[in-house]
Structure 1
Amino acid sequence: MDPRENVIQAWYMDDSDEDQRLPHHRDPKEFVSLDKLTELGVLSWCLDADKYETDEELKKIREKRGYSYMDICEVCPEKLPNYEAKIKNFFEEHLHTDEEIRYCVEGSGYFDMRDENDHWIRVAMKKGGMIVLPAGIYHRFTLDTDNYIKAMRLFVGEPVWTPYNRPHDDLPARKEYIDAFVKKEVANQAVEAL
């Protein structure tokens, strides 16, 4: 078994308007492989979160990918000012013009992203999971019912926090994402259907 599967799982979401912190599995459940996430440009790792401050593997990833800036963010009612407003804001569908890199060092949460057919995939991440969402992918974040995550945020250079709520298909980052991942996936599906 891939060790990443211990800390990262993904599935297609239902269309329910119930609490966003619930799993929202389809019936029957439709899991998504880590390979499928990679095809959508989403990278992932399983790291030792107990030693995140001194982890040589994390250091190698940071050096290889140029992640020069790092901070720690705790998302929970007790530690995040304006918690309810922020959680609502994080759950608005948006994209960024840079990668979004998150490493869960405690707790858990959900990153939702769109596949090539515009369906929601929910990615559940817990302690030790690290993901990179590519620039231009539509996504959102929410906590699960445990209401707590402590995450490391990584950036190339100075941090840029700007979310562009959907629709922002005119941005170069979105067009580059479509060309690199969505068009390729749609073409592969057409070939497989022959």
Structure 2
Amino acid sequence: MAVEAWYMDISEEDQRKPHRLTPNEPVSLDQLKTLGVFHWKLNADIYETDPELEQIRRDHGYSFMDIIAIHKDTLPNYEEKLKMFFEEHLHLDDEIRYILDGQAYFDVRDKEERWIRIAMTKGDLITLPAGIYHRFTLDETNYTKAMRLFVGEPVWKAYNRPADDFDIRQKYLASLQEPGERAVMLSPLL
């Protein structure tokens, strides 16, 4: 089954709720790809020996990995970490997460700054491109176990919005433009 994603409402209700619009506005995998977000569905029960995961890691250079369990009984400073994860931020490197158990949400901004919620369940592997504004939260089950993957040494630094001055943010925004739009967008900088 493909990952499920949708445009979010603007309610201030608990971040762990689905926050679907009424009527629901689904977002397809192809729409996510236009934002640089990629998804695979793998068999998390065999993650330690999965040849498909190994191929993805080789193809993309994901040389480092660790595993984190996010639950009030397993994560020190659980409430503070959840608040931190849900702050809108970007990274200078891609964010790669593989859900081994439980459920969670990644929220990303589209080209018009609207929030898209991506429901992650066991077996979902996602990559968010460097420079995209995003945030993370658990759903109402309050538990997920995830593999974090990196190219080279892990970098844990998040830059909360506004972080528009970073070169990686400008590069990301340029990647979203059609060729004709890019020239117009960049011309004031000349």
Query: What TM-score bracket applies, with the shorter chain setting the length?
Result: over 0.9
What's the TM-score, normalizing by structure 1? 0.91
Report what 1:42 is aligned to: 37
Given that 1:104 and 1:126 are in contact with CA atoms closer than 8 Å, whether structure 2 keeps it comes out as yes
How far residue 186 of structure 1 moved from its aligned partner, in angstroms, is 10
Q: CA RMSD in A?
A: 1.2
Which of 4, 26, 30 is the aligned partner of 1:9? 4
Q: Secondary structure at the match of 2:178?
A: helix
Report what 1:59 is aligned to: 54
After TM superposition, list the pairs within 5 Å mapping 1:87-166 onto structure 2.
87-166=82-161
Report what 2:178 is aligned to: 184
Report what 2:68 is aligned to: 73
User: For the residues of structure 1 that align with 2:99 and 2:15, how far apart are their CA atoms?
Assistant: 19
Report what 1:33 is aligned to: 28
Deviations 1:40-93 (A, max 9, x none): 000100000000000000000000100000000000111000000000000000
What's the TM-score, normalizing by structure 2? 0.93
5+ residue gaps in structure 1? 188-194
Q: Secondary structure at the match of 1:174?
A: helix
User: For the residues of structure 2 that align with 1:135 and 1:50, how far apart are their CA atoms?
Assistant: 29
One-letter amino acid matched to 1:80? L
How far residue 185 of structure 1 moved from its aligned partner, in angstroms, is 9.9
Report how many aligned residue pairs link the two structures.
Answer: 181
Report what 2:188 is aligned to: none
User: For the residues of structure 1 that align with 2:178 and 2:171, how far apart are their CA atoms?
Assistant: 12
Q: Secondary structure at the match of 2:75?
A: coil
Report what 2:184 is aligned to: none
Given that 1:39 and 1:185 are in contact with CA atoms closer than 8 Å, whether structure 2 keeps it comes out as no
Calculate percent identity across the aligned residue pairs. 59
Q: Secondary structure at the match of 1:88?
A: helix
